[in-house]
């Protein structure tokens, strides 16, 4: 998995609440069997008209935001389905950090599987950062120090330690868990005796 350490750049403001995963990447793009190539379809219905032409005033279609690596969005970002295509499309577009007041659980989890940092801030701080983003002020995201700097603002954020480590080191989660194979096998042996009906095959 790609590492995440720090990130510098302008941030795209998207002041909409409840941005759901259908908005991030609509269903017709879920038919792929690959993880890559979804960036052009990110926010498809907001970005393109019925004929497939770019909608000029949508933020990610305007310079310099079309190069954004950071997104500042309204509350409850990523609600809806479990599709990992949502973080895949953000990443393929180039976005590595999303800032909001809250994230839906599954989306939040999926971000960390893909080297994307979702940051939760207070409503007051989101307002400040939204304004800074609109004014094209450069953001500086420092994961080791857990600080967002943008103009005069310096905002600390929380992140669980294991998630931070995984991003910093780009760890392979499955590889780590396979190190506990013996424990998993022992658990299964124990349950086979105590709850045999759970081991009736599907």
Partner 1 sequence: MSNQGPKTLFDKIWSEHLVGQREDGTNLLYIDRHLVHEVTSPQAFEGLKLSNRPVHRPEATIAVADHNVPTINRQNIEDPQSKIQVETLAKNTKEHGIQYFDLMDQRQGIVHIIGPEQGITQPGMTIVCGDSHTSTHGAFGALAFGIGTSEVEHVLATQTIVQNPAKNMRISVNGELPFGVNSKDLILYIIGKIGTAGGTGHVIEYAGSSIMGLSMEGRMTICNMSIEAGARAGLISPDQTTFNYIKGRPYAPGTEHWDQAVEYWSSLPSDNDANYDHEIVIDSSEIDPMVTWGTSPEDVVSVKGTVPNPSSAKTENKKKSIERSLEYMGLKPGTKITDIKLDKIFIGSCTNGRIEDLRKVASIVKDKKIASHVQAMIVPGSGLVKKQAEEEGIDIILKDAGFEWREAGCSMCLGMNPDQLKPGERCASTSNRNFEGRQGRGGRTHLMSPELAAASAITGNISDIRDFT
Tokens of 40: 């052009």
Of 53, 57, 158, 174, the one binding partner 1 by CB under 8 A: 174
Of 5, 37, 145, 187, the one binding partner 1 by CB under 8 A: 187
- Residue 96: exposed, middle, or buried by beta-carbon count in 10 A (0-12, 13-18, 19+)? buried
Residue closer to partner 1 by CB (options 8, 192) is: 192
Tokens of 9: 């750049």
Span of 3-11, 58-66, 150-158, 165-173 interacting with partner 1 by CB under 8 A? 165-173
DSSP 28: G
Beta strands in 16-170 (DSSP E): 70-73, 97-100, 117-120, 139-142, 147-150, 153-156
What residues make contact with partner 1 under the rule CB under 8 A?
A: 15-18, 20, 22-23, 26-28, 30-35, 45, 50, 74-76, 79-84, 87, 102, 104-106, 109-110, 113-114, 160-162, 165-166, 173-178, 180-181, 183-184, 187-188, 191, 195-198, 200-202
């Amino acid at each position: 998995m790609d590492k995440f350490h720090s990130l510098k750049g302008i941030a795209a403001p998207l002041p909409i609440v409840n941005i759901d995963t259908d908005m991030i990447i609509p269903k017709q793009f879920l038919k792929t069997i690959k993880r890559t190539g979804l960036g052009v379809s990110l926010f498809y219905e907001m970005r393109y008209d019925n004929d497939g032409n770019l909608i000029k005033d949508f933020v990610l279609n305007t310079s310099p935001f079309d190069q954004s690596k950071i997104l500042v969005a309204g509350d409850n970002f990523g609600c809806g389905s479990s599709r990992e295509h949502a973080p895949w499309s953000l990443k393929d577009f180039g976005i590595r950090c999303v800032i909001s007041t809250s994230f839906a659980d599954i989306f939040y989890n999926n971000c960390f599987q893909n080297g994307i940092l979702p940051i939760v801030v207070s409503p007051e701080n989101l307002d400040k950062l939204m304004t800074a983003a609109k004014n094209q002020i450069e953001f500086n995201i420092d994961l080791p120090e857990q600080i967002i700097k943008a103009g005069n603002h310096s905002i600390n954020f929380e992140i669980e330690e294991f998630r931070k480590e995984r991003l910093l080191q780009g760890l392979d989660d499955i590889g780590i868990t396979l190190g506990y194979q013996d424990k998993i096998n022992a658990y299964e042996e124990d349950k086979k005796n105590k709850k045999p009906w759970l081991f009736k095959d599907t």
